[in-house]
Amino acid sequence: MNTVTLWGRLARDPVIKWVELKDSQEKMCIARYTLAVNRPFGNKNKDNSQTADFIPCVTFGKNAEIAQKMFRKGTALVINGRLNSGSYTNKEGQKVFFLDVQVDRQEFTERKAVQEQKAEADASKENKTSVEEDLPQPYTPEDMGMTFYPEDGSEQEPEQNFMEFGMEM
């Protein structure tokens, strides 16, 4: 079985391409993006920072259109798909092998309000001049899609914090 599930953040904005299908006049959207996936907590660099893998992903059709409209660098996602490998000959005549995840389903792992707050914070950072203010801030548990119960022992239900944007292929 060829199944891949990954949780991570977009390393950069998606690259969008529209292609015309051979058999018809219709155009199809293709989105390529890189998902930064943290390694388990045991793998840390010498400077105690966590390492990440950068996984190339590709999606087609409605999923790609959603990526074009809603995905930006830093967007937290969970994706489901399959590992896809292949090869092609580049302009220099060399055979190039590739490996990527063909995404069938993609879901946000943050609320829209959190994403908007980050976008506003990024916009305000462009106007700051202090070096200390430009340092990256650590993620909060809410940023990572985690929900905590109150310490008073009440059994309050967690809020739903996943928005699904999948499609059947």
Per-residue pLDDT tens for 83-101? 999 998 999 999 999 999 9
Q: Which residue has the higher pLDDT, 112 or 73?
A: 73
Give, in order, the Cα–Cα distances in Å from 125 to each of 10, 73, 114, 139, 145.
19, 15, 16, 16, 24
Instruction: Decide if 120 contacts 127 (C-beta within 8 A).
Output: no
Q: How confident is the model at residue 115 (pLDDT cuts 50, 70, 90)?
A: low
Instruction: Decide if 12 contacts 27 (C-beta within 8 A).
Output: no
Pairing mode of beta strands 95-108, 52-60: parallel
Percent residues over pLDDT 90 in the chain: 44
Alpha-carbon Rg for the chain, nearest whole angstrom, is 19
What's 129's DSSP letter? -
Amino acid 165: pLDDT: 39
pLDDT score of 62 more than 90: yes
Amino acid 14: pLDDT: 94
Q: How confident is the model at residue 127 (pLDDT cuts 50, 70, 90)?
A: low
**Which backbone phi and psi does 68 adopt, to 5 degrees?**
-60, -40
73, with CB counted inside 10 A (0-12, 13-18, 19+), is middle
CA-based diameter of the chain, in Å? 67
Amino acid 128: pLDDT: 53
